Chains A and B, each alone.
Chain A
Amino acid sequence: MIKEKKIVKVGIADLNIVTPPDIIRTAGLGSCVGVVIYDSSKKIAGLAHVLLPESSLTQQSDFNKYKYADTAVPILIEKLLANGARKYALKAKMAGGAQMFQFASNSKTMRIGARNIEAVKEQLTHFNIPIISSDVGGNVGRTIEFDLVSCQLKVRKVNQETVFI
């Protein structure tokens, strides 16, 4: 029986994993970063939608670990490995990290997009996962979709042509 193709949606501060023919998707990335980690021959991929760079920022005693880059990426990798991915074969693609507004105030949330990108990259470097392609920065929102069949990440932006990276 042929399995029906589903789209698995990942929300803000959330993560999930898929196997073919399913597609994994997250919508409306602004300063958030969407990072896809996958094993192309074992055909398994995961996507995390991180909101903030470091969990040391939290003022909560019991926080959502999917919210921060430094806690979400290790969990995503762990889930992939537990489901058959091989650590040495993992690759990554990422998108997001825009700065939606040039707020003049001197708040700590300034440049959060850029800091999210750095934090995700730092995690990937730490786990020796190469970044195959990325579409980050700027001041636009993005919706991304990863298809394991092609291992392409589809990036849609308002008023711009959709690209596959």
Chain B
Amino acid sequence: MEYSNLSGMQLDALREVGNIGAGNAATSMSILLDRKIDMNVPSVSIVDYNDMMEIIGGPEELIVAIVFQIKDEFPCTVYFILSVDEAEHLIQDLTGNKDFTLMNDLYHNELAMSALKETGNIVIGSYLSALSDFIKYNMHPSIPYLSFDMAGAVLTAGLLEISEVSDYAIVINTSILSDASENIQGHFFLLPEPESLSKLFEALGIEND
């Protein structure tokens, strides 16, 4: 399936997938942080690899990503991405350590790493369970993988399977944000592998050429 010529209806369906997943995830995040969490209207972009990095601020932008691989019936890679500030606020919030900084502490602080991974687990878990109910495919996520590095380095890891088939990736991007003063905003990137895209349209009864 060539990504570049999806119909309007197909794009709508993908946007709805982002909506359902992130809606559920925002609820979980809200319970976890005991705060109101809002979400943005999801965007679906069909982008080449370089443009994909631009969505997040360029290939050199420092990001914190919690990554899950889904194999089996519906192979895809899901990222929960936070900026450095956002991840710091989140860790400070969850661990009560107000002096925590990522640059100095992340890899030496088991509690902070574990808090981030667990947040990813909860948030992505609810994202995927909503999605799985919607499309009727089982989705068993891997354990969470955590990385704090340049966006280019982190995101290409999710592109490798796709890159053998296409020069474009389809990115379903949804962000959630808290209303508190320390703004925590997270991005979900869902990168379906090519075979999953056809399955998705089929499951939703949309014409699949």
Residues of A within 8 A of B (CB): 11-14, 27-32, 51-52, 57-60, 63-64, 67, 98, 100-105, 107, 109, 112, 140-143, 158-159
Q: Name the CB-closest residue of A to B149.
A: A141
* Interchain CB contact under 8 A, A112 and B160: yes
Q: Shortest CB–CB separation between residue A143 and chain B, in angstroms? A: 6
Known: A11-B49, A13-B49, A27-B58. A52 touches B153 (CB 8 A): no
The reply to whether B142 and A28 form a contact with Cβ atoms under 8 Å apart is no
Residue of A whose beta carbon sits closest to that of B60: A27
Cβ-defined contact, B148 with A104, below 8 A: no
Across-interface contacts of B53 in A (CB, < 8 A): 12, 28
Given contacts A27-B59, A100-B157, 19 further A-B contacts (CB under 8 A): A11-B49, A11-B50, A12-B49, A12-B59, A12-B156, A13-B163, A13-B167, A28-B152, A29-B153, A30-B152, A30-B156, A32-B156, A51-B160, A52-B163, A60-B164, A105-B71, A109-B161, A141-B150, A141-B154
- A-B pairs under 8 A by CB, number: 103
Q: Give every chain B residue within 8 A of A104 (Cβ-Cβ).
A: 142-143
- Min CB–CB distance B72 → chain A (angstroms): 10
**Residue of B whose beta carbon sits closest to that of A25:** B60
Closest to A30 in B: B153
* A143 and B156 form a contact (CB under 8 A): no
B161 in contact with A158 (CB, 8 Å): no
The B interface is mostly helix, strand or loop, or mixed, namely: mixed
The answer to whether B67 has its CB under 8 Å from any CB of chain A is yes
Q: How many residues of B contact A (CB 8 A)?
A: 32
Q: 1/0 per residue B59-71: CB within 8 Å of A?
A: 1101000010101
Partner of B165, one of A59, A100, A141: A59
Contact between chains at A58 and B164 (CB < 8 Å):
yes
8 closest A-B pairs by CB:
A28-B152, A141-B153, A30-B153, A28-B59, A141-B150, A109-B160, A11-B50, A28-B150
Q: Which residues of A contact B153 (CB under 8 A)?
A: 28-31, 98, 100, 140-142
Across the interface, name the chain A residue whose C-beta is closest to B2: A60
Is the beta-carbon distance between B164 and A100 smaller than 8 angstroms?
A: no
Of the candidates B53, B67, B153, B167, the one having the most CB atoms from chain A within 10 angstroms of its own CB is B153
Q: How far is the CB of B47 from chain A (nearest CB, A)?
A: 12
B153-209 with Cβ < 8 A to chain A: 153-154, 156-157, 159-161, 163-167
